[in-house]
Amino acid sequence: MEITLNGYYTLILATLVLLLGRILVKKIKFLEDFNIPEPVAGGLVAAVVVYVLNIVWGYSFNFHQGLQTATMLMFFASIGLSADFSRLKAGGTPLLIFTIVVSVFIVLQDIVGVAMASVLGLDPLLGLVTGSIALTGGHGTAGAWGITLEQEYGVVGATTLGIAVATYGLVAGGIIGGPVARRLIQRLGLKPTVPNPNPSDIEKVAGAQSLYSTKHDEDSAHSNKEIFERPDSMRFITASSTIETLALFAAALAFADVMTLVAQDTWFELPTFVWALAGGVIIRNVLTTVFNFDMFDRSIDVFGNASLSLFLAMALLSLKLWQLTDLAGPVLIILLVQTVIMIIYVYFITFKVMGKDYDAAVLSAGHCGFGMGATPTAIANMQAVTDRYLPSPKAFLIVPMVGAFFVDIVNATVLQIFTKLPFM
């Protein structure tokens, strides 16, 4: 029996999934320790319930796709509207270098995914799902590209697989980040600090002066706390700022709608959500640079986080877990290889390129976080390291900028190139 739910009932179920996820994350320590998002925790339980209903009684559910698409586009528009290129000045050369290091890894991740999928007899496009779509991209990108791959390329189960891979990435990224950083710090000869660190310990770290450099660095790191994707933090917004923000989102989505039609069947044809992201970037930087418009970032964050939560809840409700049965073995092999590649890359590339000092070790822990999972995992990894050793304002300035939006722009570009390759 097939049951179709309209937008009202779909929204009600999505909010119930989010409330269930909140309860699970608060009650189950494992979920909290590994920063599993509330929509994922509740959504996976809902997906299992839907799976049981299908297997036992033959029920299947169709949820309102228009609402799911709208929240997805709003999430990607929020990334673009947060991408202020003037912030590049605050990060300086290290920010540019780290962005390049991360970009190279995204390409490597997709090469490994596609190659492994081909060797194991899977569709090469599924290799992208087990590559940067779900790992570097996280749940939001996995859901968005999953829908695109299913509708435009006929890849069955892409969304379901993407959500599953992204969940694995969150856990794996949280597990490997701390041990990798600890091993790198041991190479520097640095010991865990006591409440008042010994200056001789600090001197053992190459370039440790940067850790306590200037008040400007600390202020810069503090000013970027909003980028850390903390959906539960208090943000004061007003009715007027809400209306302004909705207008910005509407403009970005209108841009995406127009460009999707204009670019159809041309060489620069892109998924609609990529145009939403691009529209947000253009609107943000034109308004702030040309018109000196004061963007209300807190309001953008609220709408972006809410849209992502609702989208993930609806995407997980729509999962068809029975489509993963034949993929479980090969996908697990690919993910284990991707995890090993992540460890090797940060150990020999990220750490060395970023300066082979304590800041580089903390950055490596952060790279493990969003290279396999998401920015919150990266922040959690770095906090675990700095709580045990020394502060790193440099890392806490750079990683949120790169992980929160620059990596999504790079990832969208790389994925678009890969999907156009002749062997895909």
In tens, the pLDDT along 26-66 reads 898 877 766 567 887 888 888 889 888 888 888 888 888 88
Contact (CB, 8 A) for 38 and 309: yes
Q: What does the pLDDT read at residue 211?
A: 38
Q: Which of 148-157, 316-325, 367-376 bottoms out in mean pLDDT, i.e. has the lowest?
A: 316-325
* Rounded Cα distance, 376 and 273, in Å: 22
Q: Which of 150-159, 195-204, 407-416 bottoms out in mean pLDDT, i.e. has the lowest?
A: 195-204
* Rounded Cα distance, 216 and 66, in Å: 45
Q: Would 70 be classed as within a structural domain?
A: no
Look at 199 and 58; give whichever has higher pLDDT. 58
Look at 260 and 171; give whichever has higher pLDDT. 260
Tell me which residue range forms the domain holding 158.
87-296+324-419
Cα angle vertex 143, ends 140, 149, to 5°? Answer: 135
Q: Would 309 be classed as within a structural domain?
A: no
Range 49-85 burial, b when 16+ CB lie within 10 A, else e:
ebeeebeeeeeebebbeebbbbbbbbbbbbbbbbbbe
Q: Would 80 be classed as within a structural domain?
A: no
Cα angle vertex 256, ends 419, 259, to 5°? Answer: 75
Q: Would 20 be classed as within a structural domain?
A: no
Q: What does the pLDDT read at residue 107?
A: 96
Block residue for tokens 């996280």: 138
Q: What does the pLDDT read at residue 114?
A: 95
Q: What does the pLDDT read at residue 337?
A: 96
Tell me what the mean pLDDT of segment 270-281 comes to: 85
What would the pLDDT profile of 178-189 be if each residue is shown by its tens digit?
889 989 998 888
Q: What does the pLDDT read at residue 219?
A: 38
Q: What does the pLDDT read at residue 134?
A: 92
Q: What is the DSSP letter of 61?
A: E
Q: Would 393 be classed as within a structural domain?
A: yes
pTM of the model: 0.70
Q: Would 302 be classed as within a structural domain?
A: no
Contact (CB, 8 A) for 304 and 297: no
Number of domains forming the structure of the chain: 1
Q: Which residues contact 106 (CB under 8 A, 6 or more apart)?
A: 132, 136, 407, 410, 411, 414
Q: What does the pLDDT read at residue 220?
A: 39
pLDDT of 2 above 50? yes
Q: Would 18 be classed as within a structural domain?
A: no
* Helix or strand (DSSP H, E) at 3: strand 2-4
Q: What does the pLDDT read at residue 226?
A: 43
Block residue for tokens 């892109």: 270
Q: What does the pLDDT read at residue 87?
A: 67
pLDDT of 212 above 70? no
Q: What does the pLDDT read at residue 230?
A: 45
pLDDT of 297 above 70? yes
Summary mean pLDDT of the chain: 82
Q: Would 212 be classed as within a structural domain?
A: yes
pLDDT of 171 above 70? yes
Block residue for tokens 């020394």: 390
Q: What does the pLDDT read at residue 195?
A: 46
Look at 203 and 107; give whichever has higher pLDDT. 107
Structure tokens at 11: 């929204």
Ranges 207-216, 274-283, 293-302, most confident: 274-283
pLDDT of 398 above 60? yes
